Amino acid sequence: MQNISTWVSAMRLRTLPLSIAGIIIAGCLAHYNGVFRWDIFILAILTTLSFQILSNLANDYGDGVKGTDNEERIGPVRAIQSGEISPEELINAIKLNIIISIVFAFALIFCAFGVKHFFLTLFFFLLAIGSIVAAIRYTMGYNAYGYKGLGDIFVFTFFGLASVIGCYVLFAKQIDHVTFLPAFTIGLLSTAVLNLNNMRDRLTDEKSNKITLAVKLGENKVKLYHNFLIFGAIILSGLFGILYYTSPYNLIFMIAYVPLLLHLKRINNNQDPKLLDSELKKLALTTVLLAVLMGIGHLLPF
């Protein structure tokens, strides 16, 4: 690991805040309902970050060895593409990260459930294994689901449903209806981040036979899909604010609607895929902002 900056780049640190957005909301909802625990919260964040880093490394490897990351690609230069990290070195890093992910996941499950709640323990054990497999299989292997337009479904499921609802269950040992709308909101916005990435790479992905949903939909329909994701998140989060309203503070998250709507305006008017790269960070950070404000806003009257 001769080049630390290259390894840091391979981990794609700018994607990490987005991965914990659902954990933040789940923690706030758990605190409001009197079941919050700091040890579970911290371990949930560490586990999620390890899963995300694993996914980023595996994605770099899968796209690198398949030739998808090449000189025509618009986004940042990836590790294998740059030649500074070999496929063998990246595979070893992936193996190490798998071990780290398993350790954090098992520690989280034991911390949350101990020797009780057998079925919940079993479920989360399988969920952890499924998360690791999903992180690896996004671009790695002959049947990588990211090359078949299925990435959106997995991002919605793991970044939205599993992140918010699953994390809340770790605290409360039961599902609560208050988590559903935030889970769908974060799931839709996280999917929008992936879709934006795929919109940027649509032309080069098509040449490399990486058939993302953006490739399947084409330039015009993928913009309509992006609008659906953003407006869907706005509508569902707004519905959450109304249904669980106890104070004007609950609606503070609507501040995030302004950058979301400005983002959509830029996307709808965009004709140059290169300009979409700068929107990725903005959309990811806006999603985190909405998650933080939604969680804090729910807590303020507490």
Q: Give the tens place of pLDDT for each residue, 194-217.
A: 999 999 988 888 888 888 999 999
Question: What pLDDT is recorded for position 22?
Answer: 96
Number of H helices, E strands in the chain: 14, 0
pLDDT band at 32 (very low <50, low <70, confident <90, very high): very high
Q: Which two tokens stand for residue 91?
A: 């595979």
CB 145 within 8 A of CB 130: no
Q: 79-109: b or e for each residue (b if 16 or more CB lie within 10 Å)?
A: bbbeebbeeebbeebbeebbebbeebbeebb
Quote the percentage of the chain above a pLDDT of 90.
Answer: 67
> Domain range holding 156?
4-299
- Cβ-proximal residues to 248 (8 Å cutoff; 6+ apart), any chain: none
**What 8-state DSSP symbol labels residue 77?**
P
CB 51 within 8 A of CB 131: yes
- Whether residue 73 is predicted with pLDDT greater than 70 in this model: the reply is no
Domain count, the chain: 1
Helix (H) or strand (E) holding 192: helix 180-200
Q: Which two tokens stand for residue 107?
A: 């520690």
Question: What pLDDT is recorded for position 223?
Answer: 96
Q: 215-242: b or e for each residue (b if 16 or more CB lie within 10 Å)?
A: bebeeeebbebbeebbebbbebbbebbe
- Cβ-proximal residues to 165 (8 Å cutoff; 6+ apart), any chain: 26, 175, 179, 180, 183
By C-alpha distance, which of 299, 295, 247, 249 is closest to 32?
Answer: 299
For the segment 82-130, what is each residue's pLDDT rounded down to a tens digit?
Answer: 667 788 888 999 999 999 999 999 999 999 998 888 999 999 999 999 9
By C-alpha distance, which of 55, 190, 63, 58 is closest to 131?
Answer: 55
C-alpha Rg value of the chain to the nearest Å: 19
- Whether residue 289 is predicted with pLDDT greater than 80 in this model: the reply is yes
- Residue 5 half-sphere exposure toward CB, CA atoms < 13 A: 2
- Whether residue 158 is predicted with pLDDT greater than 90 in this model: the reply is yes
Question: What pLDDT is recorded for position 69?
Answer: 61
By C-alpha distance, which of 177, 179, 185 is closest to 159?
Answer: 185
